[in-house]
Amino acid sequence: MSTELAVELVTIGLITGSLAGMLGAGGGFVTVPLLVAIGLNVHIAVSLSLAYYVWVAAAGVLRHLRQGTIDVPLGVILMVPGILAAQLGSQLSHRLPSKALELMVSLLLVAVLVFFSTVRAPAHETQTAAALPEGPGAERALGGRRSLRFARVRSVRGRVYHYTV
């Protein structure tokens, strides 16, 4: 492996690892295009992205578990069909020509762009979020109750419900 390729891979790892931990993003729709851009075949990029994200996701999950922002029952409900579908997706990916796979990745990027540029939070959610105190004095404003500093994610659609545990 050339030094140039190693530097490119380290850079991609830093970018996508940061995105994964911060936004839950970076899987195929960020990593695969970056790997293809540095010259890897799309099939290798997809496989490498999956192998890479096993470890990146594990690190992110551990941190989010410590922060109390993962709802384990919801995660299990999401994970079980995801694991099954990943097997099917891997088989399909292996059978597709590189150009078809590249097109699918491109279409996914466009779909994500359209989705996030058109979907807005319901009005009641933005009002609730605006009413919550923020910043360094937030704990004091909430009565110094440590349990109120945390939120648990209760929806894959971005809703966060604050409650005392």
Token pair in block for residue 67: 């922060």
pLDDT 10s digits, 33-56: 888 888 888 888 888 888 888 888
What is the reported pTM?
A: 0.56
Domain count, the chain: 2
End-to-end CA distance of the chain: 51
Range of the domain at 32: 3-119
The verdict on 114 and 133 lying in the same domain is no
Task: Give the integer Cα–Cα distance in Å for 102 and 8.
Answer: 20
The verdict on 79 and 134 lying in the same domain is no
Partnered with residue 152 across adjacent β-strands are: 161
* Rounded (to 5) percent helix, strand, coil in the chain: 75, 0, 25
pLDDT in the model for residue 113: 84
C-beta separation of 58 from 70 below 8 A: no
pLDDT in the model for residue 134: 57
Work out the pLDDT band at 148, boundaries 50, 70, 90: very low
